[in-house]
Amino acid sequence: MIGLYTAEEVRAAEAPLLAATAEGALMQRAAAGLASVCGRLLGAVYGRRVALLVGSGNNGGDALFAGARLAGRGARVTAVLLDPERAHPAGLSALRRSGGRVLAASDPAAPPLIGRADLVLDGMLGIGGRGGLRRDAVELTWAAAGGAGIAVAVDVPSGIDASTGEVDGVAFPAMHTVTFGAVKRGLVVGEGRGHAGQVHLVEIGLGHHLPVATAWQLTDADVAARLEPPSAGDDKYSQGVVGVLAGSATYPGAAVLCTGAALRTRPGLVRYAGGAADGVRAAWPEALVTEGGPGDAGRVQAWVVGPGGGTDEGARAVLAEVLATDLPVLVDADALTLLAREPELVRRRSAPTVLTPHDREFERFGTPVGTDRIGAARRLAADLGAVVLLKGDATVVADPGGTTFVNGTGTADLATAGTGDVLSGIAGAVLATQGTTGLDTAEAAAVAAHLHGRAGRLAARRGPLIAGDLVRRLPEAVGHVCGVPPALLGDSQA
């Protein structure tokens, strides 16, 4: 798992390391790693044009020292200084000794030079940056955005909050971010994720100085380790039994998508109960279907309730019935609307509960999400005593104790009708295996979000996706995270 840290946590970890190392040593480590990544991105360094956008802080120093290294390898490096009087003096000297040039940001030649560069390195602001960019920094940012060069941010893109991902106005649109010592939360969540591009972590020795992370991002390998493949002694009842309470005769789509996603995630058995029984039978003969309520479905190990289920008194009775059990329950869509009216239904539960709101559903519980998505998910989870999966481009999963996961596989292509129903089915299947895998509830929800995002990325390769494409791509997504060669997976569109 990748630990995610706030700016304050990183600064606190840097303090003892700075005190124990020679002056400038930490900056040299960062600059060496930064120059190495830039060299790889450029391919051949000799003769390439590199523009450095340099502020007055340490990020500007990192950029200058990295630029000096690139100039030493034959790159044509020019530093554009926002404040020539306050630029890092040692970094500036190193750049000039290596043959680099210097311009003031006010020089009319600066924007065209940035636009022609093969690589633009953003060292304007660091992790302590707050508020929007100044006008001169905005002009340099637009020049970089309008050029054809590779845009690389030093530690964090200028203009984003390193802890929350908030963007106040304009922020540097990085294609790559080279971050030092630890991955900052703002690079993977909120608007910051869209400005960070691909994140490259350069180790500078923070190591044991960092606290134990409370926010994490799962990798494919982490997810693979949390998926329990069937063994020779398993049967359909030992691999997880999911109960799906979704849809209606008028709106069967949610039931079909949710049930199909649960099946494709490969539990041992999926039971459906509800008013869309005919549609589910026709689409998924593998499911056991009843037209009754939860009590008629048979034994299950986890429930999914809410997608397309309505908000009338009958739907409220179904929700109350499953929340009164001691089984894991995932609450989505219409059931979230009901729960927002009667939150005590979940507050008094001791069994695992996962709520999966998008931003507008989240607001029904009393407060908007705001710019700090991790903080918002944590507060609602603590208030209700349930795991909250806050859906979005970077889905956030938080448990009542504050442990958080930020999903790294999401894509804007998933912003279409029915994809949430698919996520609910995936999560229900993973939750149903808790008894055999011992998987923590928040981790189970994070695994589901990861698989959902992987399926979305695979489906989007073929063009605009619809929710049904995700269901078809789920076996491939599971195979992908488990390292199965694509040739062995066949065509899961069939």
Known binding residues: 58-62, 122, 126-132, 155, 158, 254, 308, 358, 391-395, 420-421
CA 221 – CA 213 distance, rounded (Å): 19
Distance CA 266, CA 272 (A): 15
Q: Any bridge partners for residue 217, and if so which?
A: 2
Residues placed in the known binding site for (6S)-NADPHX: 58-62, 126-132, 155, 254, 308, 358, 421
Task: At 120, give phi and psi (nearest 5°).
Answer: -115, 125
3-state class (DSSP) for residue 228: coil
Q: Which residues are annotated as a binding site for AMP?
A: 391-395, 420
Residue 359 near residue 389 (C-beta atoms within 8 A) = no
> What is the signed CA dihedral for 81, 82, 84, 86, rounded to 10 degrees?
-120
Which amino acid, one-letter code, is at 219?
T
398: closest CA among 441, 433, 432?
441
Q: What is the dihedral of CA 412, 458, 283, 339, to 10 degrees?
A: -40
Task: Give the strands of the sheet with 404-406, arranged side by side.
Answer: 183-184, 2-5, 215-217, 404-406, 396-398, 387-390, 353-355, 329-331, 302-305, 241-245, 269-273, 288-290
The distance of Cα 57 from the centroid of its chain, to the nearest Å, equals 29
In this structure, the number of other CB atoms found within 10 A of the CB of residue 219 comes to 15
For 404-431, b where at least 16 C-beta lie within 10 A, e where not — what string? bbbbbbbeebbeeebbbbbbbbbbbbbb
* Helix H or strand E segment including 273: strand 269-273
Question: Whose CA is closest to 120, among 158, 88, 166, 83?
Answer: 158
The answer to whether 284 and 257 have CB atoms below 8 angstroms apart is no
For 62-191, strand residue ranges (E) read 76-81, 101-104, 119-123, 150-154, 176-180, 183-184
Q: Which amino acid is at 481?
A: V
| DSSP H or E run through 15 | helix 7-20
Order the strands of the 176-180 sheet from edge to edge. Answer: 101-104, 76-81, 49-54, 119-123, 150-154, 176-180, 198-202
DSSP characters for 40-97?
HHHSS-TT-EEEEEE-SSHHHHHHHHHHHHHHHTT-EEEEEES-TTTS-HHHHHHHHH
The binding site for K(+) comprises 59, 122, 158
